Structure 1
Amino acid sequence: MSPRGPRAPLAPDEVEVVPATGRFADVARMVGPSVPGGQACWCLSHRLLTAQLKDGGTERREEVMRELCEGPVPPGLLAYVDGELAGWVGAAPRSSMSYVESSSRLVRAHDDDVWVVICLRVRPEFRRRGLTRLLIEAVVAEAARSGADAVEAYPVDPEGGKVDQTLAYVGLTSWFEDADFERVLQTEATSARLRRWLVRREL
């Protein structure tokens, strides 16, 4: 832990954010089950259609994520603080996410090549230290390197209320606005009973 204290803001040079390619074990720690054989979304519910995950249950999800971690397009990025696993952001080109691409609720306002952030998770001991912002900025940098036109996400605006941590994985609008994203439109999709916004940052 940083000598400045558990809640001290993290400086960019304290954090390493890398693609999840070849790092399945760490991805599993972030989005896999908390106990062996338990249920977990594996960060696939917003990535693949239900029909693509049928048969096999959680074992099938684990298999799919393992394949994604070995594929040409990483399923997201992992953050490390002093070598310790600290956070995860599920993000990839929209064209590689069949669920987002076909959803009638996660609408789009532009017909161009974008990356989409679908999940943000930070381990408890690293929360409230600015790591979420660094993860979002890392996605922006990765998308820019790939030649994408923009990065988009579908967070919620709690409007002064609180959102349960288990439902905050889609992100809050303030997190993205702090990273220079702009609201485009309010969608019909919901999380934690709150309407989700399409937000976008041009590259």
Structure 2
Amino acid sequence: MAFDVRPLTTDRFEDFADVVNPNRRATHCWCLSHRLPARRIEELGDGDRERAMRCLVAGDVPPGVIGYADGEPVGWCSIAPRSEIPKLEASRLIRPVDEVAVWSIICVVIRGGHRKRGHTLPLLEGAVAYAASRGAPAVEAHPVEPTGRMDTTMAFVGTRAMFAAAGFEVVGTTDAVASRLPRLVMRRTMGPTR
């Protein structure tokens, strides 16, 4: 199977929608909720979340990458410079661990019907490669450390094992929780490790 990862651009918007919102529900997240405050979503889309995401995609920095298995869109990873994710940048619960201008992964989705086929790891690796190609010194994620079965409604945050498999290391913890579990700060540094 060939797996390819591409930045989300306007010409790939339908592929993105097929992964995150195949039924095109107007009230669905569209991967905006963690990226922008509600008033900015309203400004961009005039009440239409899909339109707001289309505006975000048309900007200078794509808001993430799409994973393709044999040419079919199967995954989404929201990744961008932390400084361009206002809700994360302003968070009092997920504070920066240092001054490194990291890129952040805030969402990972594998399309229904394509899960448990090994797509997550190449999607994460492709997202990191994309960030590196844009000059990112490091990529961070904030997964949970499940102690048992995880609430799958929060699975988008990922797990420690998932990110560790992609070369991320724990560099701290946050004050945020998901499914009553603390979130970690995991980082993959580009180039030589410290």
Give me the TM-score of the superposition, normalised by structure 1.
Answer: 0.85
Residue identity over aligned pairs, in percent, reads 43
Q: Which amino acid aligns with 1:133?
A: L
Q: Select which of 54, 71, 82 maps to 1:66.
A: 54
- The residue number in structure 2 matching 1:115 is 103
Q: Which amino acid aligns with 2:16?
A: V
CA separation of 1:30/1:166 partners in 2, compared to 1, >3 Å: closer, same or farther? farther
- The residue number in structure 1 matching 2:15 is 26
CA displacement, residues 93-115 of structure 1 (integer Å, 9 cap, x when unaligned): 11111001110011111212211
- The residue number in structure 2 matching 1:166 is 153
Give me the TM-score of the superposition, normalised by structure 2.
Answer: 0.89
1:195 has 2:182 as partner? yes
Q: Select which of 140, 164, 172 maps to 2:128.
A: 140
Q: CA deviation at 1:58?
A: 9.3
CA separation of 1:192/1:58 partners in 2, compared to 1, >3 Å: closer, same or farther? farther
Q: CA deviation at 1:29?
A: 2.2
Q: Which runs of 5+ in 1 are unaligned?
A: 1-10
1:183–1:198 Cα contact (<8 Å) kept: yes
CA separation of 1:155/1:96 partners in 2, compared to 1, >3 Å: closer, same or farther? same
The number of residues matched between the two structures is 189
The runs of at least 4 consecutive aligned structure 1 residues that moved more than 6 Å come to 55-58
- The residue number in structure 2 matching 1:90 is 78
Q: Which runs of 5+ in 2 are unaligned?
A: none
CA displacement, residues 151-201 of structure 1 (integer Å, 9 cap, x when unaligned): 001111112x12233211011111111111111122111112211111111
2:44–2:55 Cα contact (<8 Å) kept: no
Q: CA deviation at 1:138?
A: 0.9
